[in-house]
Amino acid sequence: MAKKSNRPRELEILGEKVREAKELIGQLKESNRALVAELAELKSRLDGVESEKSEATSSPPHLQSKSGKSSQLELLQRERKEIREKVSHLLQTLEGNSSSSSAG
């Protein structure tokens, strides 16, 4: 008889766990969507930086001073490196979210 009286409590606990899991999945999906959007923005920025770099290196030499070209190139290279690092971090985060969603 003692087992039957515990059953409603066990179902209540199970229901609570299911609600918590559902809420966590919702949060992870929202976080994933935000990360995907940020990744798309960073990829777009990276494309723009690479395009600017390509334009800067293809400009006729008489249109830019040598020091101006090198400082612009350095700036673009730093930006590209920063964007690549952010994209890499986002991909790792997305993979972690995918793994935790699959495991749960």
pLDDT (tens place) for every residue of the chain, 104 residues total:
455 678 889 999 999 999 999 999 999 999 999 999 999 999 888 888 888 777 766 656 555 567 777 888 888 999 999 999 999 888 888 888 777 766 65
- CB 87 within 8 Å of CB 39: yes
Determine the Cα–Cα distance for residues 10 and 3; give it in Å rounded to an integer.
Answer: 10
Give the count of alpha carbons within 13 A of 25, CB side only: 10
The single-letter code of the amino acid at 24 is L
